[in-house]
Amino acid sequence: MLLYILKRVLSAISVVIVTLVASFALFFFAPTDPAGVICGPRCTPERIADIEQSLGLNQPKAEQVLLYMKGIVAGREFSSGGVTQHCAAPCLGYSYTLGQPVTKLIGAALPVTISIVIGGAVVYLLVGILAGTIAAQVRGTSADRFVVGTTLVVQAIPYFVFALMIALYATFLPASGYTSFFENPFLWASGLLAAWLTIGVTNAAAYTRYSRASMIEALGQDFVRTATSKGISRRRVVYRHGLRAGLTPVVTIFGIDLAFQLTGAIFTESIFGLPGIGLLALRAFNQYDLPVLMGGVLIGSVVLVVMNLVVDIAYTALDPRVRLG
Amino acid sequence: MEPLIEEAELARQGAPTDAIAAPTGEIKKVDTRRKSPTQIALARLRKDKVAVICASIFVAFVLIAIFAPLLAKLEGQDPTTLHQDLTDRYGYPTITPNGEHWFGVEPRLGRDLFARWVYGARPSLIVAGSVTVITTIIGVVVGLVSGFMGGWIDRVLSWVIDFVLSLPYLLFAIAVPAALLAIFLGTTEGVAANEVATVRFYSLILVLSFFGWASLARLIRGEVLTLREREFIAAAKVLGVPTRKVLFKELLPNLVAPIVISVSLALPSYIVTEAGLTYLGVGLTEPTPSWGLTIAQAQNWYRADPLYLWIPVAGITILVLALSLLGDSIRDAFDPRTRR
C-alpha cells in the first residue's frame, strides 16, 4: 500500500513538473514580445528595457526557467520604475497589467471557483441520487422512462447555452455576484444561487443515470433479498442497505468529476460574471497577460493532479477489491 | 439482442431438424446467413425511431453546411455585406424578417442573419468533424500499440495518456491559442483579422485534438489487453503473421463497437466545445460566421432583438440534441449488454 501511494505521488509530481516546463516553453520560447504588450502602444525603449530587466526577459531563456522555478520555491523580487515589489514564495510571477503578484490574484479567485463548484455539487448530488434511486425502484414503468428521457435531453443541451438562457431569462433568481462567505453568508449564497442551480440541474442528469444504474445493480443483490426477507421495511432496505452499496461507484465518479468541474467552471463564471479562476484566465488571455495565464494553468494542473491522487488513494483504501499496481 | 437469440435458437433447434428433414426431400428454407455484430447493430438502429429522426436532422444540417452558398444565393444575400441603411442610428434593425431578409438583419452592422446562420453551420461541423477524425485515429493507434506491445512502450504511452488526461484542458484551450498566434504569425500586434481568424481556426483544431485522443486511447488499450490473450491472436502470432497485420486485421475489427460509440459521442461534444470556446472569445474570431460568435454578440441585444439570439441558439441546440440522442441510440445498438 505504502509503495503504491509512493508510486502514485511520484507520478503526480512528474506530471506537474512536465506541465510546468511545457507551459513555460510554450509561452516564453514563443517569439512573443511580453514587454511590448505589457507596456502598451505608446511606449519608450527605456520603459521596455526596464520591464525586460524586472521580468528577467533580457536573460537567456534557460536562465529564465530557472528563475521562475526559483521564484516558486524561494520567492523573488520584481522592480518596476524604481519601485521594488517582493513576491513571496510560491511566486508565480507578477502581472504588470494588474500590478499584483499572480499568486495573490489566484488566491482571490480560487475561493470563488470553489464556492461555485461545491455549491453546485450539493445540488446535483442531492437531486441526482434521489431521482436515480427512485427511478431504479420503479424501473420499467412510464415514470422511469420519463426520468431517463429527461436526463438524456438535459444532458444533450449545450451547457453554455443552458447557462446563458438561465442568466438572461430567469430574472426571478437573485442577481449574481460574489461576496465572501465570511463577510456575509446570506449575500454569498444568494449571489451564487443562479450558478448553483445551473450546474446542479445539468449535472443532476448524469448523476441520475449513474445512481439509477448503480442502484438497479445493488437492489438485485442477495443481501437486499435477505434484508427484505427479514421483514425490514422497503424504505429502510432501499435507503440503508441498497444505497450504501450503490453509492460507492457514484462517489468515485464524483471525485474525478469534481476536479474537472474546478477547472471547467469557466463557462459558469463567465456567464454569471463571477470572478473565479476561469474568468481570471479569460481576462489574461484578452490582455495577453502571460504570467497570469501560466499561473492559472499551473494551479489548475496541480488541483487536478492532487484531486486524482486523493481519489485513487481513497478508493484503494475504501475498496479492498481494487488491485494495486 | 433479439437477432442473436434467434440465431442461437436456430442453431440449437432449426439445424438438426433440417438435417433430419433433408433426406425426406422436404427442405425447410431457413435463413442461416450469419450476421456480423455490426450488421446486427445497424438493423437495431434502423428500427429505432429516435435514431432515424436524429440521423435525418444531422444529415439536414450537413446539407445546409455544404450548400450554404447556394442557400444564401437563393435568398439573394451573403454573410458579409453590410446593410447599415437597415439599422437606425442606435443600431437597432428597422426591418423584421421579410422576403428579402428571411431572418432579418443583425443589429448595428446589418449583415443578413439567414446567410450568417447557414454559413455558421460550417465551422461547427468542420472543426468537430476533423477533430473527431484526428482524435479517433491517434487514439486507436496509440491504444492498439500500447496495449499490444506491452513493456516499456506501454509504460511510456500510458504515462503520456495519464499526463494528457490530467491537464486542465479548458484552461489550456484558453492559454494555448495566445501562444500559437505568436508562433504562427511571429507577432501579436497589427495582424489582419483574416489571418488571426485562420490561425485561430487551426489552433482550435490542434488544441482540441491534443486533448481529445487520450480517453479513447485508454479505452482501446484496455480492450486490447483482454483481446491479446485470446486464442485467435495467439494463433495468428504462431502462424507468423506480421505484427502490423495482427494489429489492424485481427484486433481492429474486434474494436469496431467501442470506436463507433466513441465517435458518435465525440462529435456532438466537440460541436459544443467549439461553440463554447468561440462564445468565450478564445475560439474562432470574426469574420468567420460562427454560431458561438453570434450568440456572444447577440446576448447584449436579447431584449431588443430576441430573434438574433434565438436563431443560432436553436441551430446549435437542435444539432447537438439530435447528435447526442443519436449517439445514445448507437451506443445502445452496439453494446450487447443493453436489452430492449
Q: What is the pLDDT of residues A110-152, one digit of tens each?
A: 888 888 998 999 999 999 999 998 888 888 888 888 888 888 8
Checking if the pLDDT of B19 tops 50, the result is no
Helix (H) or strand (E) holding A138: none
Q: Domains plus CATH for chain A? A: 36-91 (no CATH), 102-324 (1.10.3720.10)
Q: Which residues of A touch B328 (CB under 8 A)?
A: 152
Number of H helices, E strands in chain A: 14, 4
Helix (H) or strand (E) holding A32: none
Checking if the pLDDT of B135 tops 90, the result is yes
- Average pLDDT of the residues of chain B: 79
Q: Which residues of A touch B186 (CB under 8 A)?
A: 31
Tell me the shortest Cα–Cα distance from B107 to chain A, in angstroms. Answer: 18
- The answer to whether B182 contacts A30, with C-beta atoms less than 8 Å apart, is yes
List the single best residue of A26, A28, A294, A312 to mutate versus B (max B Cβ within 10 A): A26
The pLDDT score that the predictor gives to residue B4 is: 45
Q: Which residue has the cell 455576484?
A: A177
Say if B279 is an interface residue toward chain A (CB within 8 Å): yes
Q: Which residue has the cell 447493430?
A: B41
- How sure is the predictor about B17, in pLDDT bands with cuts at 50, 70 and 90? very low
- The answer to whether A282 contacts B280, with C-beta atoms less than 8 Å apart, is yes
Contacts of A86 (CB under 8 A, 6+ apart): A75, A77
Assigned C-alpha cell, B29: 428454407
DSSP state of A29: S
> What is the rounded radius of gyration, in angstroms, for the C-alpha atoms of chain B?
26
Rounded-to-integer distance, Cα A298 and Cα A67, Å? 16
Note the pLDDT tens digit of each residue in A264-323.
788 888 888 888 888 888 888 887 777 788 888 888 888 888 887 887 777 776 665 555
Burial of B158 (C-beta count, 10 Å sphere; 0-12/13-18/19+)? middle
A residues 121-180 closer than 8 Å to B (CB): 152-153, 155-161, 164-165, 168
- The answer to whether A32 contacts B179, with C-beta atoms less than 8 Å apart, is yes
- The answer to whether B324 contacts A168, with C-beta atoms less than 8 Å apart, is no
Q: Which residue has the cell 460566421?
A: B289
Checking if the pLDDT of B3 tops 50, the result is no
B residues 286-325 closer than 8 Å to A (CB): 295, 299, 302, 309, 313, 316-317, 320-321, 323-325
Q: Domains plus CATH for chain B? A: 1-33 (no CATH), 37-334 (1.10.3720.10)
Tell me the shortest Cα–Cα distance from A216 to chain B, in angstroms. Answer: 14
- What pTM, to 2 d.p., does this model score? 0.82
The pLDDT score that the predictor gives to residue A292 is: 84
List Cβ<8 Å contacts ≥24 apart for A96-100. A96/A38, A96/A51, A96/A55, A96/A289, A97/A38, A97/A287, A97/A289, A97/A292, A98/A289, A98/A292
Assigned C-alpha cell, A73: 520555491
B6, B60, B68, B67: which is closest to B31 by C-alpha?
A: B6
Q: Which residues of A touch B222 (CB under 8 A)?
A: none
Report which listed range, A245-249, A261-265, B251-255, is most confident: B251-255
- How sure is the predictor about B14, in pLDDT bands with cuts at 50, 70 and 90? very low
The pLDDT score that the predictor gives to residue B130 is: 94
- The answer to whether B320 contacts A303, with C-beta atoms less than 8 Å apart, is no
